[in-house]
Structure 1
Amino acid sequence: MAVVLLCSISGAPGTTTTALGLSLQWPRPVVLADCDRDAPQAITGGYLGGQGDGRGLTTLMQAARLHSSIRGGLLEHTQRLDLDGRRLFLPGFRHPSASAIFSSWAQVAEEFSDLHHRGMDVLVDAGRVGPAGLPTELVRRADQVLVVTRSTLRCLVALSAHLPTLLDQVESLSAACEVGLAVVGPGRPYSNAEVSAQFGVPVALSVDWAPDHAAVLSDAADPPRRFDTSAYLTSLVKAAHGLQRRLGTRLAHRDPVAPLAVHPLTTHGSTR
């Protein structure tokens, strides 16, 4: 079991697309949770082509208010990302104001952690870090925090200004998670080694720069030729398997659920 929290510092570095791409290639059953407090509905409006049945964080919030507990009920508010149901999606808030009155982050975070009893991992798209950091309980329950960034000077300058806030938050909570960087487009112009050395934070994964290919995930665009064997998709497969393997090794002493042998699916296995 692992809970991976993806977030961003600067605008639109590719956090949601990366989270979705990792989920579609994740080698275990996984839940992708849209916990972006700005309520962009990027996956519902993009990859899923606007298809949704109303379930998500909003209905989960309503259930928490009605019953005072959502214990064991999170999966009832998800929808499938693939035909087999091994990849599920928890849609985010439908209105930006909803996150301001949402007081059940602790319950949601506990549900994420408890999904290991079902042999599932959780990838959380947390959106931008913000001046106050990320929701405390999500950080407390995370096993890995990934800050998504491009390798451009503009993104890295923003990272230098705001990354200390997140690192201080993790340290102040004595959280067990590791903080790493997810670089979208390494070498444009700075390499992973240069980025890691600059910030003293490891690059946990990187994804190739391929806007036309990424648009298949972000905007449900038609796949370019040889998409399934492209360097972009290969980088997502490598990133997903490498991260899950490292997390599995690190958490093996406290996670009794053995990894499942699930073959990675391409985006053509989705339900959109």
Structure 2
Amino acid sequence: MLIAVCSVKGAPGVTTLGLGLAALWPEEGAVLLECDPEGGDLAARFGHHPEPGLTSLAAASRPGSGPVSFDDHTQSVSVGARVVLAPPGDAAAAAVQTLVYSGAEVLRRTADVRAVIVDLGRLTRGSAGVRLAAAADHVLVVAGGHLADALQVQARLEWLRPELSGRLWLVRAGDDGYGAAELSRALGVPVLGESPPSRLVGGALAGRLQVPNWRRLRLARAMRDMAITLTTAQPASILPDAAVDRLVPVEVRS
């Protein structure tokens, strides 16, 4: 299964969610690909060298390079997740571009036998990240619950929906603003789950804190519930195009 995690404006916890899903996935073998062209932070956060990682995977995926094993390019970080780490700076964007144009078959073959979670950061129209999202079975758009957040998602659905072959979901970030049901009705997109703020879980998944019991805390439980839902959800459909007609701003509450 190939799962893309992204935002459309800013990055409200995209990497945190992607890493949490990889660490908490209910089946063995899940791996996170750090494919945010502006990312490349996890190696430094967890005290790793970024190689082997995304750059070596992209190079190995070039035509004529022979069989490719993801395991040769992953590293284990302290929260219990396997990660293909990206380098910092412009090298991350170059590796993503190479992987998109040369490694799509490798990604698909690997996703046929294990969960591959791809951190795309912020999606922009025509970007390499959109090409990766287009290949995913599930696309998770992380957004806050305020009217401004909903409108930012709404404004991009017109071009994003036709690009996708998999199922589109929202993940509501934060505790304030509109609830999941309200966002889903307004945007015509199902909400996979909610990602409440958590200093402890967020700190653990950012490599800043050592929290032995982080998997039992509220945010981690929410992430695990999302992972379980994805393992049982039908991947090959998105909401009907008619849902676009329901994209109206949520009424502001006083």
Question: If the length of structure 1 is used for normalisation, what is the TM-score?
Answer: 0.75
Runs of 4+ that moved beyond 4 A: none
Q: Paired residue for 2:106? A: 111
Which residue in 2 is equivalent to 1:241?
A: 228
> What SS does structure 1 have at the residue aligned with 2:168?
strand
Partner of 1:56: 53
Contact 1:213 1:232 in 2 (8 A): yes
Q: Which residue of 2 aligns with 1:78?
A: 74
Alignment correspondent of 1:157: 151
| 1:221 aligned partner | 209
Counterpart of 1:260 in structure 2 is none
Matched AA of 1:75: D
Match of 1:21 in 2: 20
Distance 2:207 2:180 in 1: 27
The structure, 1 or 2, with the larger RCO (C-alpha pairs under 8 Å, 6+ apart) is 1
| Percent identical | 26
In the superposition, relative to structure 1, how do residues 223 and 88 fare at CA in structure 2: closer, same or farther (>3 Å)? closer
Q: Which of 100-109 and 72-81 deviates more?
A: 100-109
Name the CA shift for 1:90/1:211 in 2 (closer, same or farther; >3 Å): same
Counterparts of 1:143 and 1:197 in 2: how far apart (Å)?
A: 22
Q: In the alignment, what sits opposite 2:65?
A: 69
Q: Deviations over 1:190-246 (max 9, x none)?
A: 00011111111111222222234312212422439x644322222122122222222
* Structure 1 range deviating more: 195-204 or 130-139: 130-139
Instruction: Confirm or deny: 8 A CA contact 1:93 1:99 kept in the other structure.
Output: no
Q: 1:159 to 1:123 in 2, by over 3 A?
A: same
| Contact 2:40 2:88 (C-alpha < 8 Å) held by counterparts | yes
> Could you report, residue by residue, the CA deviation over 1:11-54 in whole angstroms, capped at 9, with x for unpaired residues?
1311000111111110112111011112x2222222x2x22252
CA distance in 2, matches of 1:143, 1:82: 28
8 Å Cα contact 1:69/1:107 also seen in 2? no
Distance in 1 (alpha carbons) for counterparts of 2:216 and 2:130: 39
Residues 209 and 94 (structure 1), Cα distance of their counterparts in 2 relative to 1, 3 Å cut? closer
1:3 Cα deviation after fit: 0.4
Determine the C-alpha separation between the residues in 1 that align with 2:199 and 2:148: 18
- Relative to structure 1, the CA distance from residue 36 to residue 116 in structure 2 (aligned partners, 3 Å threshold; closer, same or farther) is closer
Counterparts in 2 of 1:253-268, with a 5 A limit? none
State the AA in 1 paired with 2:203.
Answer: A
Q: Any unmatched runs of 5+ in structure 1?
A: 252-272
Aligned length: 234
Distance 1:31 1:155, change over 3 A: same
Shift of 1:120: 1.4
CA distance in 2, matches of 1:132, 1:98: 17
Whole-Å Cα distance in 2 between the matches of residues 133 and 230 of structure 1?
35
Q: Please give the secondary structure, in 2, of the residue aligned with 1:103.
A: helix
- Unaligned runs of 5+ residues in structure 2 are 237-254
Deviation string for 1:68-117 (max 9, x for gaps)?
Answer: 33532333111123698xx4211124332552573341442322221256
Are the counterparts in 2 of residues 129 and 166 from structure 1 also a CA contact under 8 Å? no
**1:69–1:230 CA distance, 2 compared to 1 (3 A):** same
SS at match of 2:26: coil
- Please give the residue correspondences for 1:193-232 in structure 2 after superposition, counting only pairs within 5 Å: 193-223=181-211, 227-232=214-219
Where do 1:77-156 residues align within 5 Å? 77-81=73-77, 87-96=81-90, 99-100=93-94, 102-116=97-111, 119-135=113-129, 137-156=131-150
TM-score (norm 2): 0.80
1:182 corresponds in structure 2 to 171
The answer to whether the Cα contact below 8 Å between 2:61 and 2:106 also exists between their aligned partners in 1 is no
What CA RMSD, in Å, does the superposition of the two structures yield over aligned residues?
2.7
Q: Which amino acid aligns with 1:182?
A: V
